[in-house]
Amino acid sequence: MPDNSGPQAAWRLVQLHDLQVLQARLAPGVAADDPALAAWVRRWPGRRYVQSGPDGVEVTLTRRARVRPRERWWLHALLLLLTLATATVAGCLLTPDDPMGWARAGGHAIPVPARYNLAAIAPGLWFSVPLLGILGAHEAGHWLLARRHGMDVSPPWFIPAPPLVSPIGTFGAFIRIRSPIINRAALLDMAAAGPLAGFVLALPVYFAGLWMSEPIAQRVPGAGIAVMLGGGGLPLGESALLLLLRAASPLRDASLVLLHPVAAAGWFGLFFTALNLFPVGQLDGGHVVYSLAPGAHRAAGRATVALLLGMGFFYTGWWMWAALVLAIGRGKLAHPPVFDPGFRLDRRRRWAAWACIALFALAWVPIPFRL
């Protein structure tokens, strides 16, 4: 609580959902690095933001106003185990040796195993473990930075899916944010940490998987990589980044590469990273653009939807993604405001925001599946 011994000239204390927020403007002549200010701020038992503005030094202090709800860790662990099981079964479909002896009809594999035992599903772990590691790293990045800013967030929720519904055995993972977002710095930190963490893991996973992959004597127009799916090959698209990685691998001269399940996990990890970085709505990329330049968010969202609608003529899945983005925003592209939109990003955070934008440009696959 501020008192007369502090350097503030004006202040307000508000209750914001589960946070207590103190905002203060300091007396003229007090610098952001003033020792008296540092001593005063240290008395606050929570998160502290200090920044020099056009009207002097501004301080925002936050702390929890009530105890966080008790998490159901057992349920999160159960969903993770179920997702590991479904993704492992899906990984067996990506294995050329058909370890589970899938039932077949019309030459296509049906996800009904003829031999279901631990030895049969073990090859699927080559896919499921790195994939869930990438998804987990993405959500852990969000969670850790959100907690660092004092937000109340849930642990990651993993979503299992049977291989008949999702060929990778999952619909991904997410965290639930139960606190308001104080400023653009907190939003940027939380939003950028997920894709950057996932990318740091997905990149070596994909490159290592390339060294385990095999060239095949087949040529598919416009495709250089493929995965085994349902007894046949499914050609995949490549981003600029993936083309560079393949050019640096021993398979650079192969006309078509059949990806090892480890490489397939890296491919899907990078693909989901790019999906989340579309600069629209409340996707990670939308958060990043809003943090960097709130006034540009709506224009970026409109341009992104136009891009998705246009690219839908080459891959119809982009129409579904555009519809999902609009559904998440309830038909609107505007970003919800943060509590203190005037708080500016420092140079380090601006670099992180531009790194996310560059990562999207490098990792996006315009035509991901060539059906």
**Per-residue model confidence as pLDDT tens digits over 74-87:** 999 999 999 999 99
Give phi and psi for 307, each to the nearest 5.
-65, -45
DSSP annotation of 177: B
Residue 119 in this model has a pLDDT that exceeds 60: yes
Q: Residues of 108-143 as b/e, b for ≥16 C-beta within 10 angstroms?
A: ebebebeeeeeebbebbebbbbbbbbbbbbbbbbbb
Tell me what pLDDT residue 100 has: 63
Residue 289 in this model has a pLDDT that exceeds 90: yes
Beta strands in the chain (DSSP E): 8-16, 19-26, 47-53, 56-64, 102-105, 108-113, 157-160, 170-174, 214-215, 225-229, 232-236, 257-258
- Residue that wins the pLDDT comparison between 165 and 32: 165
Give phi and psi for 161, each to the nearest 5.
-150, 135
Residue 38 in this model has a pLDDT that exceeds 80: no
| Helix pair 261-276, 347-363: axis angle to 10 deg | 120
Count other Cβ atoms within 10 Å, centred on residue 323.
Answer: 12
Tell me what pLDDT residue 268 has: 96
Question: Which strand ranges, in their side-by-side order, compose the sheet holding 214-215?
Answer: 214-215, 257-258, 225-229, 232-236
Residue 39 in this model has a pLDDT that exceeds 90: no
pLDDT interval class at 48 (50, 70, 90): confident
Q: Residues of 261-292 as b/e, b for ≥16 C-beta within 10 angstroms?
A: bbbbbbbbbbbbbbbbbbbbbbbbbbbbbbbb
- Residue that wins the pLDDT comparison between 110 and 209: 209
The first and second tokens of residue 131, run together, are 């994939």
Q: Compute CA 144 distance to the chain's CA centroid, rounded to the nearest angstrom.
A: 13
Helix (H, G, I), strand (E, B) or coil at 107: coil
Q: How much is the average pLDDT of 344-358?
A: 94
The first and second tokens of residue 312, run together, are 């839908």
Single-letter amino acid code for the residue at 322? A
Tell me what pLDDT residue 82 has: 96
Tell me what pLDDT residue 83 has: 97
Q: Which residues contact 171 (CB under 8 A, 6 or more apart)?
A: 159, 161
- Residue that wins the pLDDT comparison between 85 and 98: 85
Give the Cα separation of 264 and 134 in Å (integer): 12
**Half-sphere exposure for 281 (CA within 13 Å, toward CB):** 19
| Least confident among 12-26, 184-198, 205-219 | 12-26
- Residue that wins the pLDDT comparison between 13 and 274: 274
pLDDT interval class at 4 (50, 70, 90): very low
Q: How much is the average pLDDT of 27-55?
A: 76
List residues bridging with 15 in a β-sheet.
20
The closest alpha carbon to 111, from 128, 125, 98, 129, belongs to 98
Q: How much is the average pLDDT of 51-71?
A: 80
Tell me what pLDDT residue 124 has: 87
Residue 331 in this model has a pLDDT that exceeds 90: no
Whole-prediction pTM: 0.88
Residue 8 in this model has a pLDDT that exceeds 60: no
Q: How much is the average pLDDT of 251-268?
A: 92
Q: How much is the average pLDDT of 355-361?
A: 96
| Least confident among 14-28, 263-277, 323-337 | 14-28
pLDDT interval class at 1 (50, 70, 90): very low
Mean pLDDT of the chain: 86
Residue 291 in this model has a pLDDT that exceeds 60: yes
Residue 5 in this model has a pLDDT that exceeds 60: no
Q: How much is the average pLDDT of 270-281?
A: 95
Residue 178 in this model has a pLDDT that exceeds 60: yes
Largest CA distance in the chain: 82
Tell me what pLDDT residue 315 has: 92
The first and second tokens of residue 345, run together, are 């990003």
Please state whether 206 falls in left (phi above 0), alpha (psi between -120 and 50) or beta. Answer: alpha
The closest alpha carbon to 149, from 193, 171, 173, 182, belongs to 182
Q: How much is the average pLDDT of 44-71?
A: 81
